[in-house]
Amino acid sequence: MNHENRTREKLAGGEPAFGIFQSIGSVAVSEILANREFDWVLVDMEHGQMGIETAGDLFAAIERGGPTPLVRVPGNDQATIKRALDAGAMGVMVPLVNSGEEAARAVRYCRYAPGGLRGLGPGRASLFGIRLMEYASTADSRVMVIVQAEHIDAVEHIDEIVKVPGIDVVFVGPFDLACSMGHIGRPDHPEVEAAIARVLAATLEAGLIPGIFCMGAAAAVKRAGQGFRFVAAGLDSLSLNAGLTRTLDILAQKPEVRNSI
């Protein structure tokens, strides 16, 4: 793997970076997503149905296509984060980070000593140890640390979270945030929007990158206009469903074609 994190470089240059979540554990899906125009593709190990062996194959397929391979791990766990990075992820999204202490723990798990607790060992990222020192010497400056603000507790502690050194992106999860505020299924509720705005303002003031999940391209463009710079434009399964729905809608308008099949 070449270890270039073009997404991090793009963000450092002030440009927005758009990507998509992958929840389907298929290399074919990775190859399709990676050969579009996304800056990054995030393999979702939190809600997606895949283990570390599959995830490593997906990271490699994504990188071959050009985007930055990222991962959302199931939780703020040292062992899982270590294995995901060794498998080739170039950034880790940690869910449900609700305090400064939890954010600092996520950073430590993503960094080698002396600044962190990541273990040094062979994996796909270092060509299974053949290029271990080459990889380890640059990993800390290239691996992105992305903490999720997806609970009202994170909003209430956002000022301490953004002060933690080593964080690259604070990523809002609107749906879980809405749920934690008693507005399940209503990420557009005014109270949720106010909470999102609070996270955005604190993140920008701290000089960090604000990110957010969106359900489609139109919402992604809108959020980018608000100041979000690391923006998810959707999910692989939802994109597949949207395409199929559009196809079926067209077929439904042509009953003579359908009946002739």
Element holding 153 (H helix, E strand): helix 152-156
C-alpha 226/C-alpha 54 separation (Å) is 36
What local confidence, expressed as pLDDT, does residue 256 receive?
63
Domains of the chain: 6-147+214-260 (3.20.20.60)
Q: Which of 229, 187, 190 is nearest to 207 (CA)?
A: 229
Distance CA 27, CA 121 (A): 25
pLDDT reported for residue 4: 80
pTM of the model: 0.94
Can you give the pLDDT at residue 259? Answer: 56
Active site residue 151: no
Which runs of E-coded beta strand occur in the chain? 17-22, 40-44, 68-72, 91-94, 144-149, 169-172, 209-213, 230-235
* Annotated catalytic residue within 47, 157, 183, 189: 47
Q: Tell me what pLDDT residue 45 has.
A: 98
Residue ranges, the chain, pLDDT below 70: 1-3, 254-261
